């Protein structure tokens, strides 16, 4: 079956038909891993939920979730893959790992030839929805290579799409990437992390370039990896003169798990767009992490993931630690029966910082800062002062020519007020030169929390 006919089949499914397919594939997967994986057989037996007792998706929700720590413990006890591996080791055609950005270690995944083909397709599919077509020239700004799905998946996805991929080396500076684009001229599509697209756009601005004038044949921009405010999405769309699309993916999800449809993420009504789950390949739940109950429409919850056709190292009810806002399929308006999460809403639960009794989410600060077109970048710091008090400082840089010098103090006061209103945390703001702030090549790490070292230093001084 061709890619277009396959997509047409899933486009035409009703919600009931899609759920029937999900349950059929889920039961087949559970029967397979129960027979082949000690890890999952033990978990199903402990829950008194063997495959024959899973007669509905509601039944399946009784199986306890697993998480990163469970996987790391399993592979440590049974290296290298753990007992999660559901095929004989000689059927592993590719070894991938997670990136380890959580600081907790890297999960190991053994992929079969089927899984390799699947992950290529699961990179191609969202780009097709975003307008990528055979013959297009596509710039990949996500570093290629390495052992993560995100490192090798994009080149395979562009190959499946029939597009000419330009895979900029990680060693290339942002200016070198711009020069590469100018050299080829006809660039139709860009894939980048959210913050790298911001970095690329700002670098062009500093060179006096207009992206939409320099690359008038651009068909689409595709971002992944981090949340963002809708003000920023609309500004980027204006800067480049083409739609902005987003995908949510992971190594555990065999590539992209969800992506925007033709409606893109910056809707004309000013509301956030939607990312549809590719539900025939991954059964996705969005649940309250405290109760395990499904999130209501418009509520945030943790994404819990189950692969329906991965063979080598599938995940079954894997608690991802990713937070997103859930919406039903009908909230998009495109007519597809695939459920959704809100564009720009994906964040990590472990990114949250507790400050003076308040939960501070970096994405909330992003939303405030980048709602002002004058802001180019910022960096935040949480630390302990000499009196042992928790303080928050935020340094920010302005885009050149958008704000007079005499207006900067008032602008800082406005930002301070808005940040306090949104976070309930007082922050000390300081405007600085752009070159004093970091440039993010992939995922942004705008915040540093230095409280632990501060407490240790003060304890040492008291001895």
Structure-token pair, residue 95: 């070894």
Q: 3-class SS at 143?
A: coil
1-168+247-351: CATH number? 3.40.50.12780
Residue 441 per-residue DSSP state: S
| pLDDT surpasses 70 at 453 | no
What predicted TM-score, i.e. pTM, was given to this entire model? Answer: 0.82
Confirm if 322 and 259 have CB atoms less than 8 A apart. no
pLDDT for res 309: 97
Q: Report the alpha-carbon distance of residue 248 to residue 282 in Å, rounded.
A: 12
Structure-token pair, residue 262: 């033709």
Q: Report the alpha-carbon distance of residue 101 to residue 134 in Å, rounded.
A: 34
pLDDT (tens digit per residue) in 31-80: 999 999 999 999 999 999 999 999 999 999 999 999 999 999 999 999 99
Residue 64 per-residue DSSP state: P
Residue 190 dihedral angles phi and psi, to the nearest 5°: -130, 135
Lowest mean pLDDT among 146-150, 251-255, 271-275: 146-150
Cα angle vertex 128, ends 124, 134, to 5°? Answer: 90
Residues 6+ apart with CB under 8 A from 462: none
Confirm if 321 and 250 have CB atoms less than 8 A apart. no
pLDDT band at 100 (very low <50, low <70, confident <90, very high): low
Nearest-10 Cα torsion for 32, 74, 303, 420 = 180
Task: Give the mean pLDDT of 161-177.
Answer: 90
Q: Report the alpha-carbon distance of residue 41 to residue 34 in Å, rounded.
A: 5
DSSP code string of 227-271:
---HHHHHHHHHHHTS-EEEEEEETTTTEEEEEE-TT-SB-TTSS
Q: Report the alpha-carbon distance of residue 170 to residue 280 in Å, rounded.
A: 34
pLDDT (tens digit per residue) in 110-145: 999 999 999 999 999 999 999 999 999 999 998 776
pLDDT band at 104 (very low <50, low <70, confident <90, very high): low
Q: Report the alpha-carbon distance of residue 317 to residue 304 in Å, rounded.
A: 6
Task: Give the mean pLDDT of 261-282.
Answer: 89
pLDDT for res 304: 98
Q: Within 10 Å of residue 376's Cβ, how many Cβ atoms?
A: 21
Residues 6+ apart with CB under 8 A from 351: 361, 362, 363
| pLDDT surpasses 50 at 191 | yes
Q: 3-class SS at 449?
A: strand
Residue 63 per-residue DSSP state: S
Comparison of pLDDT for 375 and 151, the residue scoring more: 375
Can you identify the CATH homologous superfamily of domain 353-462? ANL, C-terminal domain (3.30.300.30)
pLDDT for res 153: 86
| pLDDT surpasses 70 at 456 | no
Q: Report the alpha-carbon distance of residue 172 to residue 166 in Å, rounded.
A: 12
Confirm if 282 and 295 have CB atoms less than 8 A apart. no
pLDDT for res 436: 93
Helices (H) and strands (E) in the chain, counts: 14, 20
| pLDDT surpasses 60 at 457 | no
Helix, strand, coil percentages, rounded to 5, for the chain:
40, 25, 40
pLDDT for res 459: 43
The runs of H, that is alpha helices, within 37-167 are 38-46, 57-60, 68-77, 113-129, 149-161
| pLDDT surpasses 60 at 387 | yes
> Mean pLDDT of all residues in the chain?
90
Confirm if 265 and 233 have CB atoms less than 8 A apart. yes
pLDDT (tens digit per residue) in 391-442: 899 999 999 888 999 999 999 999 999 999 988 889 999 999 999 998 876 6
Cis peptide before 391 (omega within 30 of 0): no
| pLDDT surpasses 50 at 458 | no
Q: Report the alpha-carbon distance of residue 69 to residue 320 in Å, rounded.
A: 11
Confirm if 94 and 114 have CB atoms less than 8 A apart. no
Q: Report the alpha-carbon distance of residue 191 to residue 24 in Å, rounded.
A: 34
Q: Report the alpha-carbon distance of residue 236 to residue 221 in Å, rounded.
A: 9
Q: Quote the percentage of the chain above a pLDDT of 70.
A: 94
Q: Quote the percentage of the chain above a pLDDT of 90.
A: 68
Q: Where are the domains of the chain?
A: 1-168+247-351, 353-462
Comparison of pLDDT for 153 and 318, the residue scoring more: 318
Could you identify the residue written with the tokens 């596509």? 138
pLDDT (tens digit per residue) in 217-243: 999 999 997 788 888 899 999 999 999
| pLDDT surpasses 90 at 213 | yes
Q: Strand locations in 225-269, DSSP E?
A: 244-250, 255-260
Q: Report the alpha-carbon distance of residue 138 to residue 132 in Å, rounded.
A: 8
Please report, for residues 240, 326, 377, 428, the alpha-carbon distance to residue 386 in angstroms, rounded to integers and kept in the order given: 47, 43, 28, 16
Nearest to 47, CA basis, from 31, 29, 65, 33: 65
């Amino acid at each position: 079956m061709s890619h277009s006919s396959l997509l047409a089949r899933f486009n035409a499914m009703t919600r009931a038909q899609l759920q029937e397919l999900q349950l059929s594939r889920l039961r087949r997967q559970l029967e397979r891993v129960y027979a082949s994986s000690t890890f999952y057989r033990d978990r199903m037996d402990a829950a008194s939920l063997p495959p024959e007792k899973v007669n509905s998706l509601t039944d399946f929700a009784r199986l306890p979730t697993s998480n990163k720590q469970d996987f790391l413990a399993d592979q440590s006890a049974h290296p290298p893959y753990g007992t999660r591996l559901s095929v004989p080791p000689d059927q592993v055609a590719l070894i991938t790992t997670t990136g380890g950005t959580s600081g907790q270690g890297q999960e190991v995944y053994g992929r079969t030839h089927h899984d390799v083909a699947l992950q290529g397709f699961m990179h191609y599919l969202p780009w097709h929805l975003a307008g990528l077509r055979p013959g297009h020239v596509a710039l990949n700004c996500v570093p290629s290579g390495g052992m993560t799905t995100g490192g090798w998946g994009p080149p395979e996805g562009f190959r499946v799409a029939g597009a000419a991929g330009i895979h900029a080396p990680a060693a290339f500076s942002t200016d070198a990437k711009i020069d590469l684009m100018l050299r080829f001229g006809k660039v139709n599509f860009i894939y980048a992390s959210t913050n790298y697209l911001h970095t690329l756009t700002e670098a062009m601005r500093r060179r006096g370039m207009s992206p939409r004038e320099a690359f008038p044949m651009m068909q689409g921009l595709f971002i992944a990896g981090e949340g963002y405010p809708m003000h920023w999405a609309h500004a980027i769309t204006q800067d480049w003169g083409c739609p902005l699309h987003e995908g949510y993916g992971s190594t555990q999800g065999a590539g992209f798990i969800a992506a925007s449809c033709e409606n893109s993420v910056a809707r004309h009504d000013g509301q956030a767009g939607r990312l549809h789950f590719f539900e025939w390949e991954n059964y996705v739940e969005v649940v309250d992490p405290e109760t395990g109950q499904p999130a209501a429409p418009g509520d945030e919850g943790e994404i819990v993931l189950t692969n329906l056709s991965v063979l080598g190292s599938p995940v079954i009810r894997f608690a991802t630690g990713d937070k997103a806002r859930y919406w039903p399929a009908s909230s998009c308006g495109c007519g597809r029966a695939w459920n959704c999460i809100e564009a720009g809403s994906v964040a990590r639960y472990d990114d949250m910082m507790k400050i003076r009794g308040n939960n501070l989410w970096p994405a909330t600060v992003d939303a405030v800062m980048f709602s002002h077109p004058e802001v180019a970048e910022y960096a935040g710091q949480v630390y302990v002062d000499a009196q042992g008090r928790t303080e928050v400082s935020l340094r920010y840089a302005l885009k050149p020519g958008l704000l007079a010098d005499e207006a900067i103090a008032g602008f800082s006061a406005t930002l301070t007020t808005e940040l306090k209103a949104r976070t309930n945390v007082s922050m000390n703001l300081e405007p600085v030169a752009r070159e004093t702030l970091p440039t993010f090549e992939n995922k942004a790490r705008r915040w540093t929390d230095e409280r632990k070292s501060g407490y240790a230093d003060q304890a040492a001084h008291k001895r």
